[in-house]
């Protein structure tokens, strides 16, 4: 009976599932049961005879969500779901193009290029055209192609207002021509080619419009404009689109998601009334009130407030740390306390805005012996850019390190091809030498190889006399890694990680006793000896490289093991945990500094905070640090505006460095080191002050004496500024 499907639905869910007024926009709040509503809607339509299983088109954003939908439908109805059109945009477009490859101008067995294959194809195009790849870097050309395809633009439709863009458009056209000759498509091409096919082929379009009487879309807030236009092509005027999404959780603008599609859909489909799913089945009331308060500051939203029958729950804990190290220590101590109270580690999540923030937290967890797993990414010392940087450092410290040599001899690309490396390897084997020795012998006649040898030898001399942090920073800068990653789509994150490696070295230098204690680990002394032997490099560099090796992947918990979960807020979307720590809540960190100048940037950051808060079921921690190592320098930041947007009545402050005691009762230094020197100054280090031109800032330190005393103030938007104290014209906040 149809009613069996509807048992247990709340009134809002029931209204959505049984909607009979054409197209619908369902505003589904976090934890409100949207997946159940979607699958039940499909089952109800089929069971009531309104549509056959083959007449449904359901679009998800992940293959995992599609599989879950298939599983739930199979449990609800005795039907064969195998032939149903349920999948991701790319998966469904692939299916459409396979079925109509001739009409689409594709071979029957066309191949799909992944990102690396696409990059290789771009490189071949540029090589054939004799393009200067320093000016037109292959990754930039690849990004240009994908950006325009995702916007629905072919090369001949691009408005090029300058010679550089015109060249990029020409390379885009040549790339398209090469793909056509070879019978291949990239991921962006799947959607664009499918859209073009349906646009120009009226018979085919009408066939699918007649077939798919009901189109259902999950995570509608994450659709791009091209995806939305593709959906509209498949809808006949008399058919319905059932769109489920949450504008408050639209956090993927950097991937092309356009939250404005929700309001546009409502207007274009003539939807007079939005169905709102607001009952939350995940979190306690205090957590939901905090989420509602924060997101309420966004102006451009459809509007809803989450509520629950689960009760108020505990207050939100707020901890102000003296530093990022203190913040990480607090997280570890609280996680241990939660474990003692019976909570599993796997039910605890630590969230951060930037991947680079994980390093300090990982180190604290590792040092305390707590199991942890980086969800949806790699641990800090396992990330490719970090392994590249460490390989340069290892090779500088020890020329005999063949693994380090192989990793960076041609990264970034310097014209050392596979044949050259094979020749070096053969010569090394024949002579019983290292690859470095063989390369030195062969390098004279090979420009790229000779340049690499000269670079490594030069670095060995240049870093003499430098501190460990300076050595790391110098080698990373001279390696070319930062310039290389500037042109990648995720380059900003990778560069932040490389900068964080300098912070790791700074922190390591201050932990000499800890470094000594880890020597007892099996094989550590041998590793250090091999790295430092005979090359005049500091023992500290050898110790640091050994430390990095020790914290590498074999210590990470596997999926499913009882371990603390670490992840970015973006990676946390769709997940839930008993206890959640949201760390790094400082201006210019969360919200990210880029958001302060981007259109809709701050509103998207606030949506990201909303997502973070609503991951918590029972307990929520909010932390920020008075000082933090950024780019190898100690910085002072203002508490995030998101903290001020949460009503004080919902929050319990845990005494941090200002109060002198943590929740665990451990004593801390009363303030960062500079505070003791500035005790007699009018503003203490860490105090918030106001400047007429630069706005609100934080006192970061002093220098000089008497009339020459200068005060350093850190402003979120403009960085650090020095003022002569007598003329500073600062006011206390």
Give every CB contact of residue 299 below 8 A, 6+ residues apart in sequence: 603
Q: Pick the catalytic residue from 304, 373, 494, 615.
A: 615
End-to-end CA distance of the chain: 65
Is 35 one of the annotated active-site residues of the chain? yes
As a whole number of angstroms, the distance between CA 632 and CA 500 comes to 7
As a whole number of angstroms, the distance between CA 136 and CA 232 comes to 37
Contact 46, 52 (CB under 8 A): yes
CA distances to 169, 387, 699, 722 from 715, rounded to whole Å, are 40, 33, 9, 11
Q: Pick the catalytic residue from 142, 249, 614, 623.
A: 249
Q: Pick the catalytic residue from 12, 13, 34, 289.
A: 34
Q: Pick the catalytic residue from 18, 35, 279, 413.
A: 35
Is 219 one of the annotated active-site residues of the chain? yes
Asked whether the CA dihedral 412, 418, 419, 424 is positive or negative, the reply is positive
- Burial group, residue 645, by CB count within 10 angstroms (0-12, 13-18, 19+): middle
Closest by CA position to 663, among listed 360, 361, 285, 321: 321
Burial 183-219 (b: 16+ CB within 10 A, else e): ebbbbbbbbbbbbebbeeeeebbeebbebbbbbbbbb
CA distances to 124, 200, 243, 251, 576 from 277, rounded to whole Å, are 51, 38, 13, 19, 18
Q: Output DSSP code: residue 507.
A: H
Q: How far is CA 362 from the centre of its chain?
A: 17
Contact 570, 608 (CB under 8 A): yes
∠ at Cα 389 (386, 395), nearest 5°? 135
Alpha helical stretches, state H, 341-446: 358-368, 384-397, 402-408, 418-431, 435-442
687 DSSP β-pair partners: none
Give φ, ψ of 86 to 5 degrees.
-130, 125
As a whole number of angstroms, the distance between CA 558 and CA 508 comes to 27
Q: Output DSSP code: residue 560.
A: T
Closest by CA position to 668, among listed 157, 243, 325, 300: 325
Burial 402-411 (b: 16+ CB within 10 A, else e): bebbbbbbbb
Is 34 one of the annotated active-site residues of the chain? yes
- Token readout for 16 is 């959505």
Q: Pick the catalytic residue from 219, 258, 327, 347.
A: 219
Contact 614, 288 (CB under 8 A): yes
As a whole number of angstroms, the distance between CA 185 and CA 171 comes to 16
As a whole number of angstroms, the distance between CA 347 and CA 526 comes to 38
Closest by CA position to 717, among listed 596, 631, 628: 596
Q: Pick the catalytic residue from 218, 586, 604, 605.
A: 218
Contact 561, 377 (CB under 8 A): no
Say how many C-beta atoms besides its own lie within 10 A of residue 65's C-beta: 20
Angle in degrees, 0-180, between the axes of helices 468-479 and 384-397, rounded to the nearest 10: 110
Is 249 one of the annotated active-site residues of the chain? yes
Contact 640, 591 (CB under 8 A): yes
Q: Output DSSP code: residue 49.
A: T
For the annotated catalytic residues, the residue numbers are 34-35, 218-219, 249, 615
């Amino acid at each position: 009976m149809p009613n069996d499907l509807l048992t247990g639905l709340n009134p809002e869910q029931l209204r959505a599932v049984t909607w009979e007024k054409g197209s619908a926009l369902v505003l589904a709040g976090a934890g409100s049961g949207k997946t159940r509503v979607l699958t039940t809607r499909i089952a109800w339509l089929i069971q009531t005879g309104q549509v056959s299983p083959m007449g449904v088109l359901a679009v998800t954003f992940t293959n995992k969500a599609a599989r879950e939908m298939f599983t739930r439908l199979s449990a609800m109805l005795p039907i064969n779901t195998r032939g149903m059109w349920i999948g991701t945009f790319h998966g469904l477009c692939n299916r459409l193009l396979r079925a109509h490859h001739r009409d689409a101008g594709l071979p029957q067995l066309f191949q799909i290029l992944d990102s690396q294959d696409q990059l290789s194809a771009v490189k071949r195009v540029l090589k054939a055209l004799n393009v200067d790849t320093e000016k037109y870097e292959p990754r930039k050309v690849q990004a240009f192609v994908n950006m325009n395809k995702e916007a629905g633009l072919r090369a001949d439709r691009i408005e090029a207002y300058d010679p550089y863009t015109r060249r990029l458009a020409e390379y885009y056209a040549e790339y398209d021509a090469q793909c056509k000759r070879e019978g291949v498509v990239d991921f962006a091409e799947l959607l664009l080619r499918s859209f073009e096919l349906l646009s120009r082929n009226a018979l085919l379009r009408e066939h699918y419009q007649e077939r798919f009487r009901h189109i259902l879309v999950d995570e509608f807030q994450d659709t791009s404009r091209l995806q939305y236009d593709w959906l509209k092509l498949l809808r006949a005027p008399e058919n319905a689109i059932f769109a489920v999404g949450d504008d408050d959780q639209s956090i993927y603008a950097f991937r092309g998601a356009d939250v404005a599609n929700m309001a546009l859909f409502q207007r274009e489909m003539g939807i007079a009334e939005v169905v709102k799913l607001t009952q939350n089945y995940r979190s306690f009331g205090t957590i939901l009130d905090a989420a509602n308060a924060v997101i309420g500051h966004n102006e451009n939203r459809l509007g809803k407030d989450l509520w629950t029958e689960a009760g108020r729950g505990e207050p939100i804990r707020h901890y102000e740390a003296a530093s990022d190290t203190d913040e990480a220590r607090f997280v570890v101590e609280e996680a241990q306390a939660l474990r003692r109270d019976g909570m599993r580690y796997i039910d605890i999540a630590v969230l951060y805005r930037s991947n680079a923030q994980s390093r300090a937290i990982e180190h604290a967890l590792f040092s305390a012996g707590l199991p942890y797993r980086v969800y949806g990414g790699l641990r800090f010392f396992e990330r490719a850019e970090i392994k590249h940087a460490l390989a340069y450092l290892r090779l500088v410290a020890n020329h005999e390190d063949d693994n380090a040599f192989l990793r960076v001899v041609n990264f970034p690309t310097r014209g050392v091809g596979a044949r050259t490396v094979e020749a070096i390897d053969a010569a090394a084997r024949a002579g019983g030498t290292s690859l470095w020795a063989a390369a030195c012998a062969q390098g004279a006649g090979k420009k790229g190889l000779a340049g690499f040898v000269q670079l490594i030898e030069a670095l060995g001399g240049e870093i003499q006399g430098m501190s460990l942090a300076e050595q790391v920073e110098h080698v990373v800068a001279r390696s070319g890694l930062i310039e290389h990653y500037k042109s990648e789509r995720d380059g900003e994150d990778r560069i932040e990680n490389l900068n964080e490696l300098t912070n790791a070295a700074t922190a390591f230098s201050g932990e000499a006793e800890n470094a000594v204690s880890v020597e007892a680990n099996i094989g550590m002394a041998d590793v250090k000896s091999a790295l430092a032997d005979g090359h005049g490099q500091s023992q500290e560099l050898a110790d640091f490289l050994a430390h990095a090796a020790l914290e590498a992947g074999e210590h990470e918990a596997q999926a499913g093991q009882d371990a603390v979960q670490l992840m970015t807020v973006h990676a946390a979307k769709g997940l839930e945990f008993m206890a959640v720590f949201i760390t790094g809540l400082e201006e210019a960190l969360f919200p990210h500094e880029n958001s302060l100048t981007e259109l809709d940037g701050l509103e998207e950051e606030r949506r990201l905070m909303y997502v973070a808060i609503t991951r918590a079921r029972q307990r929520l921690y909010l932390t920020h640090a008075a000082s933090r190592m950024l780019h190898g320098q100690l910085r002072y930041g203002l508490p995030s505006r998101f903290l001020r947007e949460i009503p004080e009545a919902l929050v319990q402050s845990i005494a941090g460095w200002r109060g002198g005691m943590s929740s665990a009762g451990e004593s801390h230094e009363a303030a960062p080191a500079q505070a003791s020197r500035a005790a007699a100054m009018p503003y203490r280090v860490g105090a918030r002050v106001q400047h007429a031109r630069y706005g609100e800032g934080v006192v970061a330190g002093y220098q000089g004496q008497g009339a020459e005393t200068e005060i350093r103030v850190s402003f979120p938007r403009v960085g650090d500024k020095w003022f002569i104290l007598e003329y500073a014209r600062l006011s206390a906040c």
